[in-house]
Structure 1
Amino acid sequence: MENQKEFKLVKGVFSPEDAKEVLFKLVNSKIKYHQLEKFSLAERNAGDVNYSEERIHQLESSKNQIENQINLAQKENKFIKIDGTIVLEFIDKF
């Protein structure tokens, strides 16, 4: 069985507006996931929420950086090429 598999989730050339919509939906989805995970852990008193808090912070920072790049592309009247690959790899449980 193959241990690793790649999937192209986003690939193409986009207007800045379309790039923003695609990328923000991905990032916002991840932020929402970690917010729900954090809430669930806190409600159940089931563990440390630090990882989710850190990921939310990292994702919000990435979102700000993406927005800055998109604004620059708009200002320079450019399109944006996106090549987003997800790599899945099977690993042993910890």
Structure 2
Amino acid sequence: MDPIHNSFKLVEGIYSPINSADVLLSLIADKIKFHNLQILNFQDKNDPNVMRAEMRIEELKASRKLVTDMIIKARDKGLHMKIDGIINIEMLKPL
């Protein structure tokens, strides 16, 4: 039987600020793009899913700002960044 819950490391390592920017900002940009495409696919723009996607985009933009600030700070201080990104996946029955 397949497991219904699994975790795996998506990102793991110590990176220079420029490489950290490539990894982290690319992930955030892809998620923003995903939600924008979801919004375009909804027929009814008043659908609650549209509002959730728009809210998630705003959260991701705020995260992007925080990550960018951290990257700049690390660069200015001559530091590297340790990134440990774990993804948890659980299979559920639809609501």
Say whether residues 1:45 and 2:18 are aligned partners. no
User: Equivalent residue for 1:60?
Assistant: 61
Partner of 1:9: 10
Report the counterpart of residue 70 of structure 2 in structure 1.
69
Unaligned runs of 5+ in 1: none
Partner Cα distance (1:30, 1:83) in 2? 18
Q: Percent identity?
A: 33
Does residue 93 (structure 1) correspond to residue 85 (structure 2)? The answer is no
Unaligned runs of 5+ in 2: none
Tell me the TM-score normalised to structure 2 length.
0.90
> SS at the partner of 1:30?
helix
Deviation string for 1:36-64 (max 9, x for gaps)?
A: 111111xx227331001000000000000
Q: Distance in 1 between matches of 2:32 and 2:39?
A: 10
RMSD of equivalent CA atoms: 1.2
Q: Distance in 2 between matches of 1:79 and 1:66?
A: 13
Q: Secondary structure at the match of 1:78?
A: coil
Q: Deviations over 1:22-47 (max 9, x none)?
A: 10110000000001111111xx2273
How many residue pairs align between the two structures? 92
Q: Provide the TM-score with structure 1 as the length reference.
A: 0.91
Q: Which amino acid aligns with 2:53?
A: S
User: Aligned partners of 1:57 and 1:67: how far apart in 2?
Assistant: 15
